[in-house]
Amino acid sequence: MNKFRLLNATILLILTLSGCQSTEDTPVAIAKENAPMMYQLNDTHSSRFLVTSRDAFKAFNKVMLFKMNVERMVIPPTNDNKINRSWYSAEAEDVFEIAETFDKMAKDVFSDPKILQSTHIGNDDVLAVEFRLMQFNPTASRHGSMDDDTIVDTSYNSFGIASIQAVLAHSQTGELIAVIEDKINLSTIIAGSYAFSRNTKQNQMLAWRRAFKNWLQHLHQDLQKLRSEALTKS
């Protein structure tokens, strides 16, 4: 798995996309020497889904999910000093709790033994997936911090926007298969109503879980679709 880990240095991508909304795959220029040619897929749920080849997915029957990596996560300053102050005082455990929530959700979503079954052992038919939480832009104080004197009076339609990345590679060779990048909204709205809009730790974690579940389900669907299409084509 060392070859796969070396992708950490490779997938700090500076991408130039054409901006085309065509239904056909869009060639992408990657600003890195000897980088493989990649293509933006325009028929997935993700805003950026880059692959080296659609056909590559036919080789995989299982997935090996790595725990979410939060080492590169940044929290840019907002225009609200109270929000900044509360998040700057966050402990590592706060971020690890978010990552653990994602890991549990990923295990549940990929638990179907019939379709892309999750495994802990690399093999020629195993797709390795590393998830990365890259950035979080909060719109509320951390866990309903007491620094926020409007906690009782303010209703939130979102607790923030998180940027997430997934790097997909052959579990044996480390060959890059795909890179996925998305922004997920920690929305508090369910069926048009503010279901848990008050700023508390419990509500923030509920928002993280709902956002993660929605994103992971879409990813699972897209991977199933790509594999099925590749098998049908071959």
What is the predicted pLDDT for the residue at 52? 93
**pLDDT tens for residues 29-50?**
665 555 678 999 999 999 999 9
Residue whose structure tokens are 């493989």: 36
More confident residue, 114 or 201: 201
Q: Is 223 helix (H, G, I), strand (E, B) or coil?
A: helix
Mean pLDDT in residue range 100-109? 96
What is the predicted pLDDT for the residue at 32? 57
What is the predicted pLDDT for the residue at 149? 53
pLDDT of residue 138 exceeding 90, the answer is: yes
What is the predicted pLDDT for the residue at 116? 85
Question: 166 is written with which tokens?
Answer: 């997934």
Cβ atoms 182, 215 nearer than 8 A: yes
Residue whose structure tokens are 């950026």: 48
193: number of Cβ within 10 Å: 8
What is the predicted pLDDT for the residue at 145? 57
Cβ atoms 64, 119 nearer than 8 A: yes
Q: Is 222 helix (H, G, I), strand (E, B) or coil?
A: helix
Q: Is 8 helix (H, G, I), strand (E, B) or coil?
A: helix
Mean pLDDT in residue range 171-178? 94
What is the predicted pLDDT for the residue at 47? 93
DSSP codes joined into one string, 90-141? --HHHHHHHHHHHHHHHHHHT--TTSSEE-SS--TTEEEEEEEEEEEEESS-
pLDDT of residue 226 exceeding 80, the answer is: yes
Rounded Cα distance between 47 and 30, Å, is 17
pLDDT of residue 180 exceeding 80, the answer is: yes
What is the predicted pLDDT for the residue at 210? 94
**pLDDT tens for residues 58-78?**
999 999 999 999 998 999 999
What is the predicted pLDDT for the residue at 128? 97
Rounded Cα distance between 79 and 203, Å, is 23
| Element (DSSP H or E) covering residue 230 | helix 201-233
Query: In which band, very low, low, confident or very high, does the pLDDT at 10 lie, cut at 50, 70 and 90?
Result: very low
Q: Is 150 exposed, middle or buried (0-12, 13-18, 19+ CB in 10 A)?
A: exposed
What is the predicted pLDDT for the residue at 115? 78
Domain chopping of the chain, boundaries: 2-227
Mean pLDDT in residue range 191-205? 78
